[in-house]
Structure 1
Amino acid sequence: MPTPFETPPNEQPSTYVVQDRSNQQELERLQIQDQLVTTAMGGVLPEQADPEKFRRILDIGCGPGGWLIETARTYPGISTLVGVDASQSIITAARTKAQAQGLAARVEFHVQDALRMLEFPTSYFDLVNLRFGQSWIRTWDWPRMLSEMQRVCRPGGIVRIVEGELAAENNSPALTRFCQHMVEAFFQAGHLFSQESASVANHLPDLLSRYGCLHVQSHKYSPEFRAGTSAAEAYREDIRFLVYTLRPFLQKRGCLPADYETLSQQVLADLKEPTFQIHGHLFIVWGQAPERG
């Protein structure tokens, strides 16, 4: 479809925790995670009083496009929805999905490395969204990221970030241990401000205020998944893919335990137990882009 934006011909090196960007397992996991999180939060924009007022939306690090496509389906009055991601294969999958659902006239996807810059005009979007940036944004990247998000957002428009904790409370010792290794690796790689599960989420309100956003607000969702529910099954599938796709990252950061295979199998076994339950937290932080001097 015609577009005013250029797509770079070659991908740049990625800081994403899964280095193999053509990994089909990771693509499937991201699709599962997208739907799981949106459902757990009660929709695509649950905190916004009047989502119909937005006309142009940008989703940064959009993955396979689940959130953006669901937003287009939920709010047909939004005329332009744009997603960017550093992976050509993931963007191809997102475009295919939008085309299959008859949304290509309103929804478009582009390969862009958002850590370098956002290839869009200043003040172009009404809402700029970013979900789970801690998987590819290092702590020192946040000032530039927030600056770019505000630049492409119109004054008074919404800069919106969704994050989750890496280690949710659960009744599986194996899953708890796996999550501890994951938190350690994220911290070692510079993705967390401290070796705490909700490190990034806890810093977001201050970061948005410090780097220019106005009227910053936040909301926490606390979903609970119990064995036998569709949500618990989706979570199990998410973890089933994650224990394999995350292994190279854990190994690279020196956080891969010697018994990782045994640990992974125990995690998956525990998630099938009829008594399994997990209680986690999802955080939305949003603010208004300021006027420009």
Structure 2
Amino acid sequence: MQNEPKKEITGTYYVQDRKSLQELERLTIQGQMMTREMGGLLPEQEDPSRFQRVLDIACGPGEWIIEMARTYPHMTLIGVDISSSMIEYAREQARVQHVDDRVEFLVMDALLILEFPAVFFDLVNLRCCVGFMRTWDWPKMISEMRRVTRSGGIVRVADAEAEAGHTRNACPALTQFSTLFCQALYEAGHLFEAVPSGLTAHLVPLLQRHGCRNVQTRTSPMIYQAGEPSGEAFYRDMKRAFQTLRPFILKWSGKPQKDEYESLCQQALEEIQGSDFYNTWNMHTAWGIK
């Protein structure tokens, strides 16, 4: 499984420049922020100690599974991603944090097949997948997730609503950006409807429809507030997101020109830096039993 491609594989992720250090940093910040605000790595699982072997699909820079290794020393963990740049970065982070003896990162296109034996993992995780999953990809993905999960194991999917959160105060530019982002995701096939819940509202029925039982869901409101570390993390995340998502939004939303987009993003950043900024962004987790 260590045979790496010589160049990036063309994929469906909405940021095409996956070698961008800015995108690696953005995903790391965003992942750590989500884990903290959700209340932990597996906050909905009563007894994570029962999971011995864990797979993280579309692991990106690896921050979730590296933190899993640091938190649960008994686990054997594997992360896969289509991007060789992401995988190289994740491997280096695992080495730096001294967990590379228990974490393996592999280049793999999960939309084709999960290259693992059947009934191999206790838990299979897919988090923050709206960026590459299209509506028609779900049946095969869930089928593969179930195939590699042992009987009684957990199939887990988690993602945030497709917007930049709900603001308590007027943030017209941030609201307009969210509308453009939702429209672009819908036009590109990533959402079932052009609304913030265009994916998250479908997670439970998707798992139920494709063979998982006892499906449950948990909503975690992530709160970002001016003057707090969470507010600063949200600013840094959105500052990078505005730039890395620009080609995708300009292509698929069909509305702003480049100059208009830059002006909109600058206004949104000013809103986020306002002294009264308060934002909630809902993260939804759905999980079922194989």
**Quick check: TM above 0.5?**
yes
AA paired with 1:223? M
1:279 aligns with: 280
**In structure 2, C-alpha distance between the alignment counterparts of 1:164 and 1:52, rounded to whole Å:** 26
**In structure 2, C-alpha distance between the alignment counterparts of 1:124 and 1:54, rounded to whole Å:** 12
**Corresponding position: 1:166 with 2:162:** yes
**In structure 2, C-alpha distance between the alignment counterparts of 1:7 and 1:186, rounded to whole Å:** 32
**In structure 2, C-alpha distance between the alignment counterparts of 1:8 and 1:142, rounded to whole Å:** 26
**Greater Cα shift, 191-200 or 245-254:** 245-254
2:178 aligns with: 179
**In structure 2, C-alpha distance between the alignment counterparts of 1:262 and 1:214, rounded to whole Å:** 48
**In structure 2, C-alpha distance between the alignment counterparts of 1:154 and 1:237, rounded to whole Å:** 39
Partners of 2:34 and 2:222 within 8 A in 1: no
**Corresponding position: 1:218 with 2:217:** yes
**In structure 1, C-alpha distance between the alignment counterparts of 2:222 and 2:33, rounded to whole Å:** 10
**Corresponding position: 1:40 with 2:37:** yes
AA paired with 2:102? R
1:270 aligns with: 271
**Corresponding position: 1:156 with 2:152:** yes
**Corresponding position: 1:206 with 2:205:** yes
Unaligned 5+ segments in structure 2 are none
**Corresponding position: 1:71 with 2:68:** yes
Q: Alignment partner of 2:114: what SS?
A: coil
AA paired with 2:205? D
Partners of 1:7 and 1:112 within 8 A in 2: no
The verdict on how the C-alpha distance between 1:7 and 1:51 changes in structure 2, with shifts beyond 3 A counting, is: farther
CA RMSD of aligned residues (A): 1.1
**Greater Cα shift, 170-179 or 121-130:** 170-179
**In structure 2, C-alpha distance between the alignment counterparts of 1:65 and 1:150, rounded to whole Å:** 22
**In structure 1, C-alpha distance between the alignment counterparts of 2:188 and 2:128, rounded to whole Å:** 16
Partners of 1:86 and 1:113 within 8 A in 2: yes
**In structure 1, C-alpha distance between the alignment counterparts of 2:62 and 2:246, rounded to whole Å:** 25
Q: How far has the Cα of 1:251 moved from its partner?
A: 1.8
Partners of 2:181 and 2:253 within 8 A in 1: no
Query: Which aligned pairs between 1:1-293 and structure 2 lie closer than 5 A?
Result: 5-10=1-6, 11-78=8-75, 80-167=76-163, 168-170=165-167, 171=169, 172-258=171-257, 259-289=260-290
**In structure 2, C-alpha distance between the alignment counterparts of 1:36 and 1:106, rounded to whole Å:** 24
AA paired with 1:269? E
AA paired with 2:157? I
Q: Alignment partner of 1:122: what SS?
A: coil
Cα distance per residue 1:219-272 (max 9 Å; x no partner): 111122110110111011110001000011112214351311111111111111
Q: How far has the Cα of 1:9 moved from its partner?
A: 2.6
Q: Alignment partner of 1:280: what SS?
A: strand
Unaligned 5+ segments in structure 1 are none
TM-score (structure 2 length as normaliser): 0.96
**In structure 1, C-alpha distance between the alignment counterparts of 2:143 and 2:184, rounded to whole Å:** 27
Partners of 1:134 and 1:163 within 8 A in 2: yes
**In structure 1, C-alpha distance between the alignment counterparts of 2:288 and 2:103, rounded to whole Å:** 24
**In structure 1, C-alpha distance between the alignment counterparts of 2:221 and 2:97, rounded to whole Å:** 31
AA paired with 1:55? Q
The verdict on how the C-alpha distance between 1:97 and 1:256 changes in structure 2, with shifts beyond 3 A counting, is: farther
The verdict on how the C-alpha distance between 1:221 and 1:21 changes in structure 2, with shifts beyond 3 A counting, is: same
Cα distance per residue 1:199-234 (max 9 Å; x no partner): 111001000000000110101111221101101110
Q: Alignment partner of 1:222: what SS?
A: strand
Q: Alignment partner of 2:217: what SS?
A: strand
Q: Alignment partner of 1:135: what SS?
A: coil
Q: Alignment partner of 1:161: what SS?
A: strand
User: Which consecutive segments of 4 or more residues in structure 1 shift more than 2 A?
Assistant: 5-12
Q: How far has the Cα of 1:8 moved from its partner?
A: 4.9
AA paired with 1:264? C
